[in-house]
Structure 1
Amino acid sequence: MANTVDALSPTRVPMSRIYLFALIELATLGALITPLVVSLSLKVLQLVPEAEKEGALGIVAALGALSALLANPIFGHLSDRTQSRFGRRRPWLVAGVLGGLAASVLLAIAPNLPVMIVAWVLAQAAYNATLAALSALLADQVPEQQRAKASGIFGAFGFLGMVPAMIVAALFASNLTLVMLVMPVFAVVVVTVICLVIPDPQVDRQDAGRRSFAQVFSAFVFNPAKVPAFTLVWVQRATMQFGYTVVSTFALFYLMIRLGMDQTGAASLTSIATLAGAALNVVAAFTCGYLASRRGNYAPFVIGSAALMVVSLLMKAFTDDLSVFWISTALAGFALGAYYAVDLALVMRTLPAGEEGKYLGIFNVAKTLPQSLAPALAPFIVLIGGADPIAGGEKNYAALYIVAAVAVLASLLTLPGLRGVLRRADSERPRVASAPARITEKAEVA
């Protein structure tokens, strides 16, 4: 295994700093994910005929996710090698949310589908610059014994970021511009203020400075054979995320087809359901992050979260009952919270020292790539097997949810190869340099 505890953070960091990092996650993911849940679907319905909505949404979401796929490792790689008086991560944190706000304005005023696609591609690239730098900052400063707890907090705050935007979407579903711009403005304010108070020490590197195209392209290149545990965690997260992307991206269309709801009613219910799922996600992330941090063994949380997600997907595959929809939504929210409580902490055990930003950027691709594949494949998957067994018609949403369930179940095939990192090893525990530090650590645990 390539990773050791980061030399920049050999002892515990204040929990207040972790919460500030998580607040950046909250604001940025809130600005990025909210369009995927509601805004993009509503904008597509404004610009294309209803019969073309699945294909148009698939193109927009797929190209945006492709942009995120490229941006995350590139900006993580660049932040590893940035030298400035503001640090190496903070410039990318602020630049990303500013670019995201500009792209969101363009998205709100887009008069046609091509402009909408350009705007969403730019928004994905910008916000993923912030997320890549943030993940690297976490690896820089948070030591091993706090990472599961930090991962749980990050997972919880990521979903909390949708709460204010979903409230706006539920109350003002007819004002699409307001729904699209609330979180981008909030992200700019939050990230800028936090960057004024968090530390981001400069690190002297011989390879800092201007980068050629070939050097930037190297951000995508790694040898899976040299980092097998990292590769398996990447695959695990990608398959798990694929299942949840199906749940979130096509929720509005699912409600319109299966429950016979109109556009406004489906948008409002999608917003409320997302809030309910986010609340359970927060509970699961905090609780499981705390438990995983104490146990140091992440296997039960990975297995349990995948099992719950599979049950949720299969329930939605074969129902047109609103109560079953709510139960499955709750299960999916809790499942993803439990998984996010450990996935970031797990991958940090596999990172090569000195290349944390690059590899965390590549790892984040496992979260963004399914956002490209699921919408791109969905229009073809819903044609499998003929008519929908519940709603009838030519779009088979049961097939879509079954395929997603199989993908999530397949994520568990990675576990045998991850035995060496699922449980915290004694060699991964950071050394305590002094007696006072040891006393402080015991007090914090108590």
Structure 2
Amino acid sequence: MNKNSTDKDTASENRGVSVGEVTNANVTNEQQPKFPKLFGLAMFIGPFVWLAPAGNVRNTLLPQYFSQIDPSGKVAAIAILASVTSIVAAVSNILFGALSDLTRSKFGKRKPWILFGTLIESGMICLVANLTNMLAIVICWGIVAAAENAVAAAMVAQEADRIAPKWRGTISTLYGLGYTAIQVVAMIAAGFLSNPKLGMYVMAGIGFGMGIIHVLLAKEPSNLDEPRDKFSWSTIWTHFSLPTSGSRDYWLAVLGKLAMVMGGTITNAYMLFVLTDYMKLSQGTTSKTLATFASIQLVLGLVFTAISGPIADKMGRLKLPVALSTAVLGIGQFFPFIAPHVWTLYAMTIMTAIANGVYNAVDGALNLAVLPNKETAGKDMGFINLANTLSQIAGTVVAGLIVTYLGGYRAIFPCAFAISLLGAILIMFIKKVR
């Protein structure tokens, strides 16, 4: 980084910058005066490429397949599969993000990883559909998880490479809408419970087809003209280590995300038992209530995701909507602590659906704005994704400890409230972005 750039970063940190002034962008607002519609569409279908096929096979079709091939061992197999997936995701997000940063090819730096990752993910899902040995399935699924996260890491990093700051909120919104829209694929997967093997083929086909469409729409150009880093220990350290220099705001964003996701996970991890054991609802009422909650979350999530990104772009603010949505999430989570009445859960669901919609639309743009080094965007986004994964695991563990040792299901809600508010406070301490 040259001296002028360093001085600009220092001045920005002292006074705070808006989304339109983010200094780590490869593309300036002047260089991209019009919204990149095709790239926006490519990012909308992004979650259909990696998350929709692998997630629905992992969460819906594989458990059903396990129950068919080994009913007595299905519970242990699912637990082992979840552990392997989490470990592989933690490593591969950072590894493949860093490798894509270093890639130079006529196809660009991200496209090869998206294409090869999609091909391997789809192919391994088809292979898993033809295996009957639990150990072999778990091993092969580790490869699926690595490929899945290679695609995710490279895909998200494209925004840092190719999108001007003023459009990042809208692009983040479209990606967030894709996250919500993949519930359509979940419905498709549920239709194959009687034939999970065929369902896995269908999921693999969806992922592969969407992967091809994504790279065609994204149109990543050659990057052979980009400078190549010489192999050295310094290069390895830069591209594979934790960000340190100029990374204060980056780590505040990471910790804020960890707290936000962890708070949400704490309340969701035992929602079924909250309804039956804390709210004392019957099984039939519980089923209908969960379905209603899902509908509320889908509708409000789509609406608030759709409007929040463009509004953030227009206002030139990213930190404030992310912090406010995290705080609203926490406030909503406090309601069920008031009384064991189902209306408190409806209040929580409405508030958290709105909060998640705003958060999903803008958080991605905030993460891009605080990246400490645009040359290591893939690796640094990998650490952010790692925080997301670890917070879900930690949230589930913490929820279990709270229920067991700290007062039962009712104690979940004030703990989630406190953790979420901590996340909002951490985000508000970010200086470089308004």
Q: TM-score range by the shorter chain?
A: 0.7 to 0.9
Match status 1:15 vs 2:37? yes
- Describe the shift of the 1:236–1:120 C-alpha distance in structure 2 as closer, same or farther (beyond 3 A): farther
Q: State the Cα distance separating 1:147 from its structure 2 match.
A: 0.6
Superposed CA deviations along residues 106-165 of structure 1, whole A, max 9, x for unmatched, are: 655665764554344333221111111111111111100101111112111112112231
Residue of structure 2 in register with 1:393 after alignment = none
Q: State the Cα distance separating 1:356 from its structure 2 match.
A: 1.9
Q: State the Cα distance separating 1:35 from its structure 2 match.
A: 5.5
Residue of structure 1 in register with 2:205 after alignment = 185
Give the one of 329, 338, 347 matched to 1:309: 329
Structure 2 counterpart SS, 1:301: helix
Q: State the Cα distance separating 1:41 from its structure 2 match.
A: 6.4
| Alignment coverage as a number of residue pairs | 406
- Describe the shift of the 1:362–1:218 C-alpha distance in structure 2 as closer, same or farther (beyond 3 A): same
Mapped contact 1:277–1:329 kept (Cα < 8 A): yes
Correspondences of 1:383-394 after superposition (within 5 Å): 383-385=404-406, 388=408
Residue of structure 1 in register with 2:248 after alignment = 228
- Describe the shift of the 1:217–1:356 C-alpha distance in structure 2 as closer, same or farther (beyond 3 A): same
Query: Separation in 1 of the partners of 2:110 and 2:28?
Result: 14
Q: State the Cα distance separating 1:319 from its structure 2 match.
A: 7.3
Match status 1:84 vs 2:96? no
Correspondences of 1:18-57 after superposition (within 5 Å): 18-34=40-56, 38=60
Identity in percent: 25
TM-score w.r.t. the length of structure 1 is 0.76
Query: Separation in 2 of the partners of 1:405 and 1:37?
Result: 28
TM-score w.r.t. the length of structure 2 is 0.78
- Describe the shift of the 1:409–1:61 C-alpha distance in structure 2 as closer, same or farther (beyond 3 A): farther
Give the one of 345, 367, 392 matched to 2:365: 345
Query: Separation in 1 of the partners of 2:131 and 2:42?
Result: 34
Whichever residue aligns with residue 370 of structure 1, its letter is S
Residue of structure 1 in register with 2:5 after alignment = none
Mapped contact 2:323–2:425 kept (Cα < 8 A): no
- Describe the shift of the 1:341–1:111 C-alpha distance in structure 2 as closer, same or farther (beyond 3 A): same
Whichever residue aligns with residue 356 of structure 1, its letter is A
Mapped contact 1:151–1:340 kept (Cα < 8 A): yes
Give the one of 403, 425, 428 matched to 1:382: 403
Superposed CA deviations along residues 37-94 of structure 1, whole A, max 9, x for unmatched, are: 65576677776779x95x8756543431221121112111111121223222111112
Mapped contact 1:61–1:371 kept (Cα < 8 A): no
Give the one of 379, 390, 414 matched to 2:426: 414
Superposed CA deviations along residues 191-210 of structure 1, whole A, max 9, x for unmatched, are: 1133234321222345369x
Query: Separation in 2 of the partners of 1:333 and 1:248?
Result: 13
Structure 2 counterpart SS, 1:5: coil
Mapped contact 1:157–1:282 kept (Cα < 8 A): no
Residue of structure 2 in register with 1:132 after alignment = 153
Q: State the Cα distance separating 1:292 from its structure 2 match.
A: 0.7
Structure 1 counterpart SS, 2:159: helix
* 5+ long unaligned stretches in structure 2: 1-8, 11-22
Query: Separation in 2 of the partners of 1:329 and 1:213?
Result: 50
Correspondences of 1:57-76 after superposition (within 5 Å): 59-76=80-97
Mapped contact 2:62–2:196 kept (Cα < 8 A): no
Whichever residue aligns with residue 357 of structure 1, its letter is G
Residue of structure 1 in register with 2:143 after alignment = 122
Residue of structure 2 in register with 1:195 after alignment = 215
Mapped contact 1:220–1:362 kept (Cα < 8 A): no
- Describe the shift of the 1:250–1:67 C-alpha distance in structure 2 as closer, same or farther (beyond 3 A): farther
Query: Separation in 2 of the partners of 1:402 and 1:43?
Result: 38
Residue of structure 2 in register with 1:371 after alignment = 392
Structure 2 counterpart SS, 1:418: coil
* 5+ long unaligned stretches in structure 1: 389-396, 424-446
- Describe the shift of the 1:121–1:244 C-alpha distance in structure 2 as closer, same or farther (beyond 3 A): farther
- Describe the shift of the 1:270–1:127 C-alpha distance in structure 2 as closer, same or farther (beyond 3 A): farther
- Describe the shift of the 1:213–1:40 C-alpha distance in structure 2 as closer, same or farther (beyond 3 A): farther
Query: Separation in 1 of the partners of 2:200 and 2:341?
Result: 30
- Describe the shift of the 1:323–1:147 C-alpha distance in structure 2 as closer, same or farther (beyond 3 A): same
Whichever residue aligns with residue 38 of structure 2, its letter is S
Give the one of 256, 259, 283 matched to 1:261: 283
Structure 2 counterpart SS, 1:354: helix
Query: Separation in 1 of the partners of 2:415 and 2:297?
Result: 21
Q: State the Cα distance separating 1:186 from its structure 2 match.
A: 1.0
Match status 1:142 vs 2:163? yes
Superposed CA deviations along residues 392-412 of structure 1, whole A, max 9, x for unmatched, are: xxxxx4445554433222102
Structure 2 counterpart SS, 1:419: coil
- Describe the shift of the 1:81–1:220 C-alpha distance in structure 2 as closer, same or farther (beyond 3 A): closer
Whichever residue aligns with residue 126 of structure 1, its letter is A
Mapped contact 1:306–1:335 kept (Cα < 8 A): yes
Mapped contact 1:168–1:179 kept (Cα < 8 A): yes
Query: Separation in 1 of the partners of 2:208 and 2:101?
Result: 23
Q: State the Cα distance separating 1:353 from its structure 2 match.
A: 2.7
- Describe the shift of the 1:125–1:294 C-alpha distance in structure 2 as closer, same or farther (beyond 3 A): same
Mapped contact 2:399–2:412 kept (Cα < 8 A): yes
